[in-house]
Chains A and B, each alone.
Chain A
Amino acid sequence: MTIISKFKAVALSAALSLSVALPAAYADEQYFPLQSYRVGPYAAGGTGFFGGFIDYLNLINTRDGGVNGVKLTWSEGETQYEVEKGVEVYERLKSNPGVAAWNPLSVGIAYAMIDRITQDKVPLITINHGRTDSTDGRVFPYVFPLLLNPYSETSGIVNYIASKEGGLEGLKGKKIVVLYHGSPYGKETIPIYELLAQKYGFELQQIEVPHPGNEQQSQWLTIRRAKPDFVVLRGWGVMNPVALKTAAKVGFPVDHIVGNVWSNSEEDVIPAGDAAKGYTAITTQASGAEYPVVKEIVKTVYDAGKGNLEDKKRIGSVYHNLGIVNGILNVEAIRIAQEKFGKRTLTGDEVRWGFEHLKLDPAKVEALGAKGLFHSINVSWDNHEGEGYVTFQQWDGAKWNVVSDWIAPDWALLRPIIEKSSEAYAAEKGIKLRTAEDADAVSTN
């Protein structure tokens, strides 16, 4: 019988390891489950973004003792940017008490979560990316593509190229190639580029680079043959430096390549070396460590040895600052919701209400120590993007320099397209369009 008892012991220990309890929450804590990725081809984005996010949460805890006394907690699960790992981590972490919001930083994972978080009534934040039509809060009550959805990004880039060509009229007869990442994220903007090409009369060619994009010789040879006036780089991770290097190899001028919001980081240009000098990219948040909030993070968090980035040179980099901005938006949403519901642990639905009233004008942004880091945000119950402004930055071989003002994308042009798409989704799924009254009804459990 010894064998049987041995098996029992093994089975018992296996069961125990599966039911490992996460640290129990105390009365006033708000919890952030983080589906982070620190390994794999997109680790640069993951470590920078989640590093900045965690650094900001740490700052709030250390400097202010939490949000109005409510301590912020978090734990991480590695997803490697893979959908099924993201789902597993979601299921693992969702049972923790006091979940504030999900921030997966992956379109694929976000898509898989939409049904689940809607059922659980917890917000899903896809800052600067995500499903464009989730901007429509009437159909997607819990999804927030904050600051910049992919269509707004497209509009911003096209407007920027137009400004180089002497206004939108100047686009007529020009040729633009969009080089996009072969993933849901990359493909999200295909229809909007086509629409804008028709509207403004420029010639358009969209070329896919299969994931992960470490070989692009044939794509760039095609581009050389096509002789476009501009190439829009809609890349992600390792695809970006490879694109810049291959462009240099085939002789395409780098100052005619415009990067999108996920091709705009130091990690995208430094590996490309000289090939990246003069490259321009869109951004919603400036890079650099000179902003008061970043300085405070260095002083309060890093000097105390609690910083999340292993390489301190990355403090103030594009992804790190995006993580910090994401932290500001999440924390302020909680603060706004606390004003209404009380200074305690909030339910996911109460945090959703907070996000739907997240209005930070430039003065408020300055008070948060983030003046110049990002412009402003104005989220409402039916506009979940919140009218983020964009700017353009150029790489000089050592750092990014801002080369434009804060620009507003053409929201009025985009809104009807977004509504058409979201209404089609609502019809397919049998979703009743939400009204302002529905948005004010908040579930407290």
Chain B
Amino acid sequence: MSALATEFTVAPTLPKWAAPVLVLIIAYGVVPFVGTSYLFEAILLPFLALSLAGLGLNILTGYAGQLSLGSAAFMAAGAFAAYNFNLRVEGLPLVGSIILSGLVAAGIGIVFGLPSLRLRGFYLAVSTLAAQFFVQWALTKFSWFSNNSSSGVIDAPTLSIGGIVFSGAAGRYLFSLTIVTVITFLAYRLVISQTGRNFIAVRDNETAARIIGVPVLRTKLLAFAISSFIIGVAGVLWAFAYLRTVEPAGFNLDRSFQILFIIIIGGLASIRGAFFGAALIVVFPLVLARLGSFLLGDIFDSGVLDMSQRIVLGALIILFLILEPDGLVSLWDRIRRRLGSALRLTRR
């Protein structure tokens, strides 16, 4: 958890807002004009949705120390809630249904967070599995959630905010990017506030936190609520902006694990960690797939290639975690420090 310390270290010569602002300038000013539809549809849209889900889980697991395996369930709750608000409430703007769906996910998160008052660690993780199975079961069982569509698949509505329609790949990218930017900013403000410090206090030593006057129960439930809200919105992005369709089975336990791996690989208790982790989880298999089919596509069929990619990916993750157990964030910071000192040396 030493990632926390590195969170606030900055490159020696730049103010700390410089890097995010630079990223945003590129993301808004350059990418929409040069990106191809493949870049948006296959890389950036899943990356943004999973980053946001990772960010949500990182608040719960990384900052507040509560392990959860229910992330995909909260994504599903968000996606289906947004679909139903959009369908059934006349005249509700899309932003309204997204916020409401986040609140629904937060409500479900609080309910399934209640065991955290008694359970810790792996026992809590197992009890959050209940959320995973219950939500998926409910969405499959009651066809009302998918508007009685015979196959249980929902179609995403058109994305529009205040009369501006975000159609096309680049439009949906900008839509997702804006939501992710706003929520990331709010999450950043949250973790440096008193509430954020309470989260960390509860994570590091619950008894000590109680003694210094942190309301432990309320803090834990708040962490579940905020985390589920963010993950719920991520579910909306996944369904509406990325896949444009969704079925309950798409939010299975595999997805929950994927989100957990994102924050472990990216770096726990770090805002940037979710983005680094999601980038690796989304982009790396694609690069491997491309490389594999380019180099060996004529010799092996796609099934063999796919199997070998999994082996390579697994081996790389193990190797990487041995070399850098604190995640990509601390690797990145180390590289930056070295680069910084190298630059200073050359300047002299």
Contacts and interface: CB of A to CB of B under 8 A. Distances in A.
B287 A17 contact: yes
B78 to A, nearest CB: 17
B152 interface: yes
B140 A107 contact: no
A396 interface: no
Interface stretch (B34-42, B95-103, B116-124, B265-273): B34-42
Interface in A395-445: 421, 428-429
Interface in A97-114: 107-108, 111-112, 114
A421 B306 CA distance: 38
Interface in B284-314: 286-287, 289-291, 293-294, 297, 301-307
B250 interface: yes
Interface stretch (B19-27, B63-71, B241-249): B241-249
Residue in B46, B153, B247, B338 with the greatest tally of chain A CB atoms within 10 Å: B153
B46 A211 contact: no
A39 B309 CA distance: 12
Given A43-B303, A91-B38, A20 B290 contact: yes
Contacts of B243: 83-84, 87, 112
Contact of A184 (B152, B287, B291): B152
Interface string A120-131: 000000000001
B211 interface: no
Interface residues of B, number: 38
A274 B309 CA distance: 38
B30 interface: no
A160 B287 CA distance: 50
A211 B249 CA distance: 8
Interface residues of A, number: 49
A188 B42 CA distance: 28
A80 interface: yes
Interface of B: 36-38, 41-42, 46, 140, 150-153, 155, 242-245, 247, 249-250, 286-287, 289-291, 293-294, 297, 301-307, 338-339, 342, 346
A208 B294 CA distance: 41
A27 interface: no
Nearest to A188: B151
12 contacts: A1-B346, A18-B290, A39-B303, A77-B302, A84-B46, A94-B37, A95-B37, A131-B151, A132-B150, A189-B150, A190-B150, A191-B150
A108 B301 contact: no
Interface in A142-188: 182-185, 187-188
B176 to A, nearest CB: 15
Nearest to A211: B249
Nearest to A82: B250
Given A88-B286, A208-B140, A78 B305 contact: yes
